[in-house]
Structure 1
Amino acid sequence: MSLPAAVSLEQLRKQAKDLRKARSLKLSEAQLEIARRYGFPSWPRLRSYVDRVATAGPSLQHAFSDDPAYYAERAEGLLASASDGTPDAVAAFTRWSAPLTPAGARQVVARNHGFTSWASLRRHVADLRAEPFARAFRALRARDLDGLRALLDRFPELATASGTNGNDLLGLASATCDERLVSVLLEAGADVARANAHGWTALHQAGYSNLPHMARLLLAHGAPVDVSGRGNGGTPLAAALFWGNTEVAAVLAEHGVVPRNLRTAAGLNDVALVEELWSSPSAGAHRGFYRPHSGFPAWRPSSSLTEIRDEAMSWAARADAVDAIAALYRLGASLEANVYQGTPLTWAAARGRSRAVRLLLSLGAAPSATGTFGGPTHGVGTTALHHAAESGHLEVIEALLDAGADPTISDELYGGTPANWAAHGGHEDARALLLRRGGTERD
């Protein structure tokens, strides 16, 4: 049977009456059997679902997590995107005449799911076992290919249905990093160009997670490379280069360098383009995107040419783009600027980019400089050594120590030394190296 979204309550009542007559059942028995055919445990649960779908229309978003905290986090993220000016997120608040406040965001999320209040949504998500979209989500989470195919065969509308904040099953599948699930959904007719409320597509997720094979699969099905998520210029390529994900960035760049600005050129290690854009008005074009999710603090990129150039140095460093680093330094970019959440050396160290770390140090980057990195509950008063230790990048740790980095500095948020950070990250080899080289630990 097709997804109940395609069936009216009147049709369901007729099916129950016909079944009652055909098999001499009580009406309640016939209704229960109809409900179970659709995968619902009772007639009232099926009726409630169909009523909600009919009231909300095709824009209905289906809940799929049974954790109420999930929806609170989605409300916070939606508010952050709307505050950043992301069009679809702004439109969601406008649609429901909701203020750009935490309470307004919860109102929007509840209304998008077909409920008039946050309390009603919380009651609903307490038991999602029967909901077709939630069942498909559980199949994704379990990597259950056969179960997913069976649900899509039974409820074909699932391939194009929307979940919380506009996340469809294809986008949720891409977040699992499992190409097999993505393939099943593409075969079922999922829209490869579909974006969620943040403007984020499955191809963005492939860039964010450094999945070159998934990117090729999505591109082969027509995934667009020029759509922006989380701000102007937040293309899949920008999402990849924010993290210095060079493997998937190379795949995406084959389909166009979008956006074509200085930080993208630097991340791609394209020296010719860096030199071309250095003094060009296009150097800072399409820089509205600055964070892949709201875990990073709010910021507004400026039109300052100095900021644009220094940011490019950071993007080159995180991508191990040593040719671009050298070119940017020669042209005048700073080694120490913290344009947004991390100096070039900190980014290179955090990403384990040993070549970039050595080059930056040789050019004069301060090995023990402190600063901020990541979100507000992460790196405050940290050094590059803290972040190399956190991820267990032994070669980078050695390079920093050889350049004179101080392994005894405590960060300002947790009071931890690099050795503490290595231990917290579960990297005993990095902790031991730091202690051998003069590091200390705080209680």
Structure 2
Amino acid sequence: MPVRPLPDNPSIEWLRKQAKTLLRRPSADLIAEFHPRPPATLRLADAQLVVARMHGFASWPRLRQHLATVARYSRSPHLVEAGGDLAEEFLRLACLTYGADRPGRTREADLLLGGHPGLAAANVFTMAATGSADALAGLLATRPALARAQGGPFGWEPLLYLAYARLAAPGEAVAAARVLLAHGADPDAGFLWDGLTSPFTALTGAFGGGEGDQPAHPHGAALARLLLSAGADPNDSQTLYNRGLGGSFSDDVAHLELLLEFGLGAGPGGVWHRRLGPTLSAPRQLLREELATAALRGGPRRARLLLAHGAEVGGRGRHPAFGGRTPYELALLNGHTEVARLLAAAGASADLNEMDAFVAACLRADAAAVADLGPEVAARARAGLPGLVIRAAGLGKTEAVALLAGLGFDVDHRERSTPLHEAAWNDDVATVRALLDLGADPAITDTRFHATPLGWAEHGGRDRVAAVLRAAVEGRERPSPS
């Protein structure tokens, strides 16, 4: 029976209830699997041990220690509200929060600093955020302990304000970071976002990315190299997620090359692995996750780089997005033919069932292979996988969208979103035009925000697609000549 990961920000009360439930209704399978010496009569201590080991911890005290660690490092910057202190408000607006990063937020910090230039040197945290290297050097020369102080609106160390700040004029950020590190700042400084056990480190802040497509630090590459040179752990799970599985995807490999240069995928992991134990993936598992990401999202450069650095061709990623599939299966099932070829050349193989073979053929736009499978398979796919056309649009597979439409798939099929929403969010002009030509409705709304594809494009700053959709909407609304 596999270990069950803890939920985000778990409570001791929830775990105690699990133990008491097991005590009242013992499960012979659970006890046999997770108790090293199953007792004849279960006691509370035994039930607690089973619960701890079921979640990957050696003992109940180790599990409690983990919860204390989570509480110690948990921060919720996205929930901090505006206040009256100018320096605090400046920092609140200047930094990414991964939850309240609305467009124009950091611009407000720029305006506040422009009106109150003295904020740059108000305290060690504003000095760090503004890259005020000389001011930091002067302050820390007499008060070096401030390099590791926690404060400001988010309870962060100065290095975090520096790494997460996104000011139009970032100052001498790298020099300022060098000053902080020289006076004892921790290159692995970080926090647990709302209790999430994947630390948001200074390295994470430098690289940016994520579900909101947050920008990298203006000096991100140099800042990241400095942090790694100072000892930051390259096995940074949140950085990898933010620049890979989370948010928009590109096949850029610069961040991976840098992390691999400093030891990504090797060793036992750094301080955060010691703090968080089994809740963090081991370094070798991080390489598996990255290769699975390259296969799922279509990154041949990433796949080639990872294979060259020893990533296991058949290793499976644990994230639910991978569905337990191997990288080769993911590449085939998402129409990423170049990645599939790379994996096959490295020894990968797959035995797809009939429906998987249909999906793979459609997403690589192989009409002949689809025809060979027969109309009955296509009919079953239309009934069982109507969202395949949404997936094809989200992947930017324009030819696959046209093939699916020709097979009778509804180009206005709606789940959370529609094919047109997905293509709009990706600023994919070719797929948007193809969908419109196939009869997709530009006025259709999604189920969560009740917004049109144009609304999605405008919200995300997808200007090219917005122009195409705006013209389509105006064309529909314009009365036809009598």
Does the 8 Å contact 1:420/1:431 carry over to 2?
A: no
**What SS does structure 1 have at the residue aligned with 2:256?**
helix
Partner of 2:398: 354
Q: Give the secondary-structure state (helix, strand or coil) at the position aligned to 1:207.
A: coil
Letter aligned with residue 404 of structure 1: G
**CA offsets 1:129-148 (integer angstroms, 9 cap, x no match):** 44446101122124611111
Structure 2 residue aligned with 1:224: 265
What does residue 170 of structure 1 align with? 203
Is the Cα–Cα contact under 8 Å of residues 387 and 413 in structure 2 kept in the other structure? no
SS of 1:409 mapped into structure 2: coil
Distance 1:88 1:150 in 2: 45
Q: Return closer, same or farther for 1:169/1:138 CA change in 2, 3 Å cut-off.
A: same
Residue identity opposite 1:109 in structure 2: V
The question of whether the paired residues in 2 share the 8 Å contact of 1:96 and 1:108 is answered with no
Residues 425, 265 of structure 1: CA spacing in aligned structure 2 closer, same or farther, 3 A cutoff? closer
Q: In structure 1, the residue corresponding to 2:265 is in which secondary structure?
A: coil
Pick from 231, 238, 241 the counterpart of residue 292 of structure 2.
238
Give the alignment partner of residue 174 of structure 2, picking from 135, 140, 145.
145
Q: Which residue of 1 aligns with 2:451?
A: 416
Shift of 1:212: 0.8
3-state SS of paired residue (1:235): helix
Matched, 1:429 2:467: yes
Preserved CA contact (<8 Å) 2:160 2:190: no
1:212 aligns with 2:245: no
Identity %: 23
Q: Confirm or deny that 1:159 pairs with 2:190.
A: no
Structure-2 change in CA distance of 1:431 and 1:139 (3 Å):
same
Change (3 A) 1:366 1:221: same
Aligned residue for 1:404? 439
Give 2:132's aligned residue.
none
Of 418, 421, 434, the residue aligned with 1:386 is 421
Classify 1:385/1:223 alpha carbon distance in 2 versus 1 (closer, same or farther; 3 Å).
Answer: same
Contact 1:418 1:434 in 2 (8 A): no
Q: Deviations over 1:150-192 (max 9, x none)?
A: 1111116x12455334444334433364222211112112222
Q: 1:9-88 maps to which residues of 2 (within 5 A)?
A: 77-79=8-10
Q: Secondary structure at the match of 2:476?
A: coil
Does structure 2 conserve the Cα–Cα contact (< 8 Å) formed by 1:263 and 1:311?
no
| CA pair 410-112 structure 1, distance change in 2 beyond 3 A | closer
Structure 1 CA distance for aligned equivalents of residues 230 and 394 of structure 2: 39
Q: Does 1:188 align with 2:230?
A: yes
Q: 1:136 — aligned with what?
A: 159
SS of corresponding position for 1:139: helix
**Aligned partner (choices 369, 375, 380) of residue 413 of structure 2:** 369
Specify the alignment match of 1:288 in structure 2.
none
1:438 paired to 2:471: no
Does the Cα contact within 8 Å between 1:349 and 1:384 map onto a contact in 2?
Answer: yes
- The 1:243–1:276 alpha-carbon spacing in structure 2 relative to 1, beyond 3 Å, is closer
**What's the offset of the Cα at 1:217?**
1.7
Indicate the SS of the match to 1:163.
strand
Shift of the alpha carbon at 1:431? 2.8
Assess, with a 3 A threshold, how the Cα gap between structure 1 residues 136 and 433 changes in structure 2: closer, same or farther: same
Give, in whole Å, the separation in 2 of the partners of 1:273 and 1:252. 14
Which amino acid counterpart does residue 248 of structure 1 have in structure 2? R
In structure 2, the CA distance between the partners of 1:228 and 1:361, relative to structure 1 (3 Å rule), is farther
**Alpha carbons of structure 1 residues 185 and 328: separation in structure 2 relative to 1, 3 Å:** farther
Whole-angstrom distance in 2 between the partners of 1:368 and 1:397 = 12
**Aligned runs of 1:269-284 on 2, under 5 Å?**
269=337, 270=340, 273=344, 277-279=349-351
Cα 1:243–1:163 shift into 2, 3 Å = same
CA contact (8 A) 2:73 2:191 kept: no
The equivalent of 1:263 in structure 2 is 329
Change (3 A) 1:97 1:185: closer
Unaligned 5+ runs, structure 2: 1-5, 16-50, 76-90, 93-122, 126-145, 150-155, 210-215, 268-280, 317-325
Q: Distance in 2 between matches of 1:141 and 1:407?
A: 37
Number of residue equivalences: 300
Cα displacement string for residues 12-63 of structure 1 (whole angstroms, at most 9, x for unaligned residues): xxxxxxxxxxxxxxxxxxxxxxxxxxxxxxxxxxxxxxxxxxxxxxxxxxxx
Matched to 2:159, the amino acid is: A
- Does the 8 Å CA contact 1:407/1:418 hold for their aligned counterparts? yes
One-letter amino acid of the counterpart of residue 331, structure 2: A
